[in-house]
Amino acid sequence: MSEKPIRNPFLASSDFLFSLMMLAVIAMVVSIGAIGIVSVAKNGGSATEAAGSPSASGSSTVEVTLTEFAIAFSPSVIPPGNVVFNVHNAGAAQHNLAVASLNKRTATLDSGVHVLLDLGKVTSDVNVICEIPGHADSGMKATLKVSADASATPDTVAMISNEEMDAAMDAVAKRFPEKTKGLGGQELKPTITSDGYKQFDLTAKIVDWEVEGGKIVKGWAYNGQIPGPQLRANVGDKIRIRLKNELPESTSMHLHGVRVPNAMDGVDPYTQPAIKPGETFDYDFTATEVAVGMYHSHHNAQVQIPNGLAGSLLIGDWKTSTLKAAGNRITDVNGKVEQEVVMVLNDAGTIGLSLNGKSFPATTPYTMKIGETMLVHYYNEGLMSHPMHMHQPTGLVVARDGVMLENPFFADTISVAPGERFSVLYTAKDAGVWAWHCHILTHAETPMGMKYMVTALIVS
């Protein structure tokens, strides 16, 4: 017969004591909770208020939403007291939130990330910015109002009905293409100087620029255009770009993607002195290579470029060379490129989300006939990548940053990073109005309809 195990009396007593202790702890927690609830009730409150509402705790939680390029508060006015920001990056790019006066800031936040930022006790208005270069100047700065008369109840936004949304979308679509003052990227013909240079005269100046109907901003323009005039030359040409500065601050010009002597690289104070207001500087060089180049500011550039100081410089016959590189991979009807388009992408500064300095419905539509081919040079002068998508036809990517690809490839969405250029051949196959836009959806549409980086290709 097997023997039963003998239970240690000491262990038995220890288990019993431990159980008693646990029961005592549970009873204590329950009692404290009950005391808290009773205490609130005595003061005319509720158990829910004890959980941390502004009236019970003297603190406010503010929902802070970051987007391109705005900062929104809910509530927008709070009473004095302890403040916690619940920060949500609802944009497509990285952002952060900083309260410089309190030396409080979040880390850089990826899209979709939520974090809490405890400000401590606040008694006066709170100024906030996004510290990512260029974002504050693009609109990411705001002030949270603090008032003794305020409550910390979140703001409510009136929702529009489905019918109202449909009507708004239809109305904005019918405005396309909306007429606005100013057209950027127009070709500038050079003058031929006595010493054999093709000279392009540019003046940098702040102007009133109409981004879309009724939206007029202070744009920083070359020759009054955003983007600046299109410059064209051939390999072997002697080129002079004479830049006059009529801005309120110094500037310089970098020829991005163009082979030039170091003294012409446009990076003050290393390769030249800054061009002060009222001064003029000549950029002289010989075009030794083909290029899909940019010209843009390289002085306080995170402000000057997004505000408009950028343009295109094309060296060589890109219509002929890209069609040759395509070989028999496209089905063009007559063996030539009918049109060449420069599309400058922007997402910041006073101009904001735009194609060639305009926001939908003021963007420019393009037209083709079935079988014709169009060469598009995408230029990204913004602060974030843009996946450019034409609904039809699929494009043949033939060059990147002005260098012909050994193996061109087809793509319907081409992601263009800041500073990059892609050259793409599109051959029209089917008639219709085909949307053409950045595929970061918040860069192309709102509840009120299409907006920002949207245009259309009309094929007949």
CA–CA–CA angle 259, 261, 267 (5° rounding)? 95
Mean pLDDT throughout 353-360? 96
DSSP assignment of 295-320 = EEE-SSHHHHTTTT-EEEEEES-HHH
Q: Which residues contact 128 (CB under 8 A, 6 or more apart)?
A: 64, 71, 97, 98, 99, 141, 142, 143, 144
pLDDT at 131 over 80: yes
Long-range contacts of 319-328, Cβ-Cβ distance < 8 Å, separation of 24 or more: 319/375, 321/290, 321/404, 322/375, 322/398, 322/399, 322/404, 322/423, 322/425, 323/373, 323/425, 325/398, 325/399, 325/404, 325/405, 325/408, 326/396, 326/398, 326/408, 326/425
Provide the pLDDT for residue 47.
32
- 393-441 per-position pLDDT tens digit: 899 999 999 999 999 999 999 999 999 999 999 999 999 999 999 999 9
pLDDT at 6 over 60: no
Mean pLDDT throughout 51-58? 42
Share of the chain above pLDDT 70, in %: 85
Confidence at 216, pLDDT banded by 50, 70, 90 = very high
pLDDT at 29 over 50: no
Provide the pLDDT for residue 192.
97
Peptide linkage before 408 cis (omega within 30 of 0): no
pLDDT at 153 over 70: no
Mean pLDDT throughout 312-329? 95
Confidence at 154, pLDDT banded by 50, 70, 90 = low
How far apart are alpha carbons 394 and 47 in whole angstroms? 61
**Amino acid, single-letter form, for residue 318:** W
More confident of the two residues 442 and 59 = 442
How far is C-alpha 240 from the chain's CA centre?
A: 33
The pair of three-digit structure tokens given for residue 72, joined into one six-digit string: 């929104």
Please state, rounded to an integer, the average pLDDT across all residues of the chain: 87
Max CA distance (Å), the chain: 122
Provide the pLDDT for residue 130.
95
- For residues 83 and 119, the answer to whether their CB atoms sit within 8 Å is yes
**Amino acid, single-letter form, for residue 59:** S
Q: Which residues contact 205 (CB under 8 A, 6 or more apart)?
A: 220, 221, 224, 246, 247
- Domains, in order of start, for the chain: 56-146 (2.60.40.420), 191-459 (2.60.40.420)
Provide the pLDDT for residue 174.
94
Mean pLDDT throughout 136-143? 90
- 56-101 per-position pLDDT tens digit: 446 888 999 998 888 999 888 899 999 999 999 988 788 999 999 9
Mean pLDDT check: name the lowest of 151-165, 256-270, 327-341, 393-407: 151-165
- For residues 351 and 308, the answer to whether their CB atoms sit within 8 Å is yes
DSSP assignment of 344-395 = EEEEETTTEEEETTB-BTSSPPEEE-TT-EEEEEEEE-SSS-EEEEESSSPE
- For residues 211 and 169, the answer to whether their CB atoms sit within 8 Å is no
- 184-199 per-position pLDDT tens digit: 999 999 999 999 999 9
How far apart are alpha carbons 88 and 111 in whole angstroms? 9
Query: 458: part of which helix (H) or strand (E)?
Result: strand 454-459
Provide the pLDDT for residue 155.
53
CA–CA–CA angle 387, 391, 397 (5° rounding)? 55
Provide the pLDDT for residue 112.
82
CA–CA–CA angle 188, 254, 139 (5° rounding)? 90
Helix and strand numbers (H, E) in the chain are 5, 31
What are the angstrom distances between the C-alpha of 105 and each of 96, 118, 304?
A: 7, 9, 26
Provide the pLDDT for residue 109.
92
Q: Which residues contact 39 (CB under 8 A, 6 or more apart)?
A: 50
Confidence at 178, pLDDT banded by 50, 70, 90 = very high
Highest-confidence range of 156-160, 164-168, 434-438, by mean pLDDT?
Answer: 434-438
